Amino acid sequence: ADACGVHRTDGMVAFAEAKTEDDIDNSHTRKQLRVLGHTRMHAAPCPLYIAVPRSCAYALDRVLIDTGLVGLRHVRRLHIPDILLTAPA
């Protein structure tokens, strides 16, 4: 994971993953999200935060469908506006 955190009260671990346009729809990302998205602690799924460029939301949909993670409450999508991801001229 790109980042992880532990909740102070119950020790639950959460994962965060950030993906670029070129790194969403591939076998490595699918394997990575499958593992992180199905990790459980205390009989509950660990939260997974996934940040992608807004223009890549549909590509992320396909990956989440294929990995069985689409629509799950513990998977949090962050669609970052593309303009914030471009380098200044």
Coil, strand or helix at 48: strand
pLDDT, tens digit only, all 89 positions of the chain: 999 999 999 999 999 999 999 999 999 999 999 999 999 998 999 999 999 999 999 999 999 999 999 999 999 999 999 999 887 76
Tell me how far apart the alpha carbons of residues 40 and 79 are, in angstroms, rounded to a whole number: 25
- Location of structure tokens 């020790």: 11
| Residue 81: predicted pLDDT | 95
Assess contact for 17 and 2: CB atoms under 8 A: yes
Verdict on whether the full-model pTM lies above 0.75: yes
The DSSP symbol for 49 reads E
The pLDDT score that the predictor gives to residue 85 is 87
Q: How many helices (H) and strands (E) does the chain have?
A: 2, 6
